[in-house]
Amino acid sequence: MKRILILMMTGLLVMALSAGAAWAKPDNAKKVEAQTKVKEMQMNKTQHKALVNQEISVKGNPFKDTSNHWGNASIQRMANMGLFAGYEDGTFRPNNNMSQAEMIVLLMRLVDTNSNDGEVENSVIDATYGEKLKKVPSWARDSVEKAESLKIMSLNRFHSTQQASRAQTCVAFAKALGLDSIDNVEVNFADELLTDKEDLGYILAMYQAGYIKGAPGNYFLPQNGITRAEMAAIMERVLADLEEDNNEEDNADLTNLEIDLLDDYNEIEAVPVDNINLDGDEDEVNVEIKINLADCEDEWTDLGNSAIKNWLEDLVGDIQGKLSEDTIVSGEIINTDNDDVLVSFSKDGTDDLSVSYSDIDVNDINDVEDDLKGDAFDIVDTQFEITSVNYNEDDEIAVDLEAQDNISSQWDDLNSSDVEDDVEIICEEIAEAFQNIDAEPVMININLYDENLNLLDSYEYDVENESLN
């Protein structure tokens, strides 16, 4: 069952809930056993990636009552991520205890709701549960219904407005982790008689996995509540602590893919490929292709741009086939003889592959730019002249044309489709001029000016689709 991908969640939970509580790190055997359960679950990848990449940060202090609070940074980040919200009066109330409804809603925000596993069963909404669900606030009903279906909680013991206790919170997280209740661990909390036997089994299961340890004096304090600030800290730590393990798993997958790719793509026609390195994850991966032209520069020179692009399209297609069709793939072909970047490429999910060839002679580019300057074109019977051309490193061309006749007074009256037809013809000729030197422009940005150098209009021309955007 895919639910929550959480490493060391329970230890973090109890550490946040218990002031001064000790935290026991699991030994390797117990940790591996617990990880088997954890790896079946799924954390919201977008939230985790944003946090790891530091896209989520403290942006000012939107709450009136948190600037001097120990949990301010965690509160800010979780609020910026959209996992937590404040109150209408501008406060966050960090020390308020959380209700059971609030705790379940926040927990379920970490659950993969896109999974088909554990879909809400009919039993949840039959007469047995219907009346109890009606008592749950509308804003929490979907989360409670989902949690009930996944057996994370039971409506029979759920009271929306009552505070969420330490025991109840730990049990809910333990069940989300998929840990089984146990009763064979040699540990006795001084206040365990205050804990329901079944709940204690889940708490002991987390203890046996090495994730929790009681508060000073060997107490568990099962009936103590959890505050909003503590919950924000838990959620931040859960997301942040996924980075190392997610990277290890991603790297292992990418290492195997690297081996397969090098077997299948060890040559670009007659040019040997020394290595293919991948870095990233299923969302975005960077590719570094290494070749050495010390002994095969002529073979590389003989390669046409289309041959290189076809090879890259196959390679990138295999990468996305292994990872996801939505994976963003970008990279370079590098000559290890001098560390020059020969080719840059990128493909954003299902978009077309974009390729830039860095070995095009800059002097050739400059010659084409100079040749185009001064060329004259008619746009609806008015002559325009190219005054500026610039081909940039992103394979985009910026072109300025100036009217040679008086056009400003009648420009707005011209048929726009006639203007666009003539602009397309101009763009086609400009694109062809650069393609003749093996450049591959992707976009042409054209600015039209009147005889007084006032901007009349601007257009973008998609070279591959041969159309104005």
The reported pLDDT for the residue numbered 226 is: 82
- For 376-399, the pLDDT digits (tens) are 999 998 999 999 999 987 789 999
The reported pLDDT for the residue numbered 421 is: 94
The answer for residues whose C-beta is within 8 angstroms of residue 68's C-beta and 6 or more apart is none
Query: Do 379 and 409 belong together in one domain?
Result: yes
On whether residue 397 sits in a domain, the answer given is: yes
* Among 168, 166, 185, residue whose Cα is nearest residue 15: 166
Using the 3D structure, point to which of 240, 263, 286 is the last residue of a domain: 240
Write the secondary structure of 98-131 as one string of H (helix), E (strand) and C (coil).
CEHHHHHHHHHCCCCCCCCCCCCCHHHHCHHHHH
Query: Do 265 and 397 belong together in one domain?
Result: no
Question: CATH no. for residue 274?
Answer: 3.30.70.2960
The reported pLDDT for the residue numbered 37 is: 35
On whether residue 296 sits in a domain, the answer given is: yes
Query: Do 226 and 286 belong together in one domain?
Result: no
When pLDDT is averaged across residues 164-172 and rounded to a whole number, the result is 85
Whether 55 has a pLDDT exceeding 90, the answer reads no
CB atoms within 10 A of CB 437: 13
Q: CA geometry: angle at 331 spanning 329 and 335, to 5°?
A: 155
Whether 124 has a pLDDT exceeding 70, the answer reads no
Comparison of pLDDT for 133 and 125, the residue scoring more: 133
Query: Do 225 and 114 belong together in one domain?
Result: yes
- For 215-234, the pLDDT digits (tens) are 778 877 788 888 888 888 77
Q: For the chain, give the mean pLDDT.
A: 78
On whether residue 3 sits in a domain, the answer given is: no
Whether 8 has a pLDDT exceeding 60, the answer reads no
- For 395-446, the pLDDT digits (tens) are 899 999 999 989 988 898 999 999 999 999 999 999 999 988 878 889 999 9
When pLDDT is averaged across residues 119-127 and rounded to a whole number, the result is 47
Rounded CA separation 449/421 (Å):
17
Query: Do 100 and 187 belong together in one domain?
Result: yes
Whether 313 has a pLDDT exceeding 60, the answer reads yes
On whether residue 2 sits in a domain, the answer given is: no
Comparison of pLDDT for 128 and 75, the residue scoring more: 75
Run of H or E including 6: none
Q: Which of 7-21, 231-245, 322-336 has the lowest mean pLDDT?
A: 7-21
Query: Do 322 and 396 belong together in one domain?
Result: no
Query: Do 203 and 293 belong together in one domain?
Result: no
Using the 3D structure, point to which of 357, 375, 395 is the last residue of a domain: 357
Query: Do 344 and 397 belong together in one domain?
Result: no
Query: Do 54 and 139 belong together in one domain?
Result: yes
Query: Do 366 and 333 belong together in one domain?
Result: no
Using the 3D structure, point to which of 207, 240, 273 is the last residue of a domain: 240
Query: Do 97 and 229 belong together in one domain?
Result: yes
Where in the sequence is the domain holding 446, given as residue range(s)? 362-468
**The sheet that has 467-468: what strands, in order across it?**
376-379, 382-391, 396-403, 443-449, 455-462, 467-468
Percentages helix, strand, coil for the chain, rounded to the nearest 5?
Answer: 40, 20, 40
The reported pLDDT for the residue numbered 250 is: 56
On whether residue 1 sits in a domain, the answer given is: no
Q: Do 241 and 12 form a contact (C-beta atoms < 8 A)?
A: yes
> How many distinct structural domains can be found in the chain?
3
Whether 20 has a pLDDT exceeding 60, the answer reads no
CB atoms within 10 A of CB 468: 15
- For 178-189, the pLDDT digits (tens) are 778 887 666 677
Query: Do 116 and 21 belong together in one domain?
Result: yes
Question: CATH no. for residue 436?
Answer: 3.30.300
Residue found by looking up tokens 């973008």 in the block: 460
Q: Give the dihedral sign, CA 111/117/119/122.
A: negative
CB atoms within 10 A of CB 345: 22
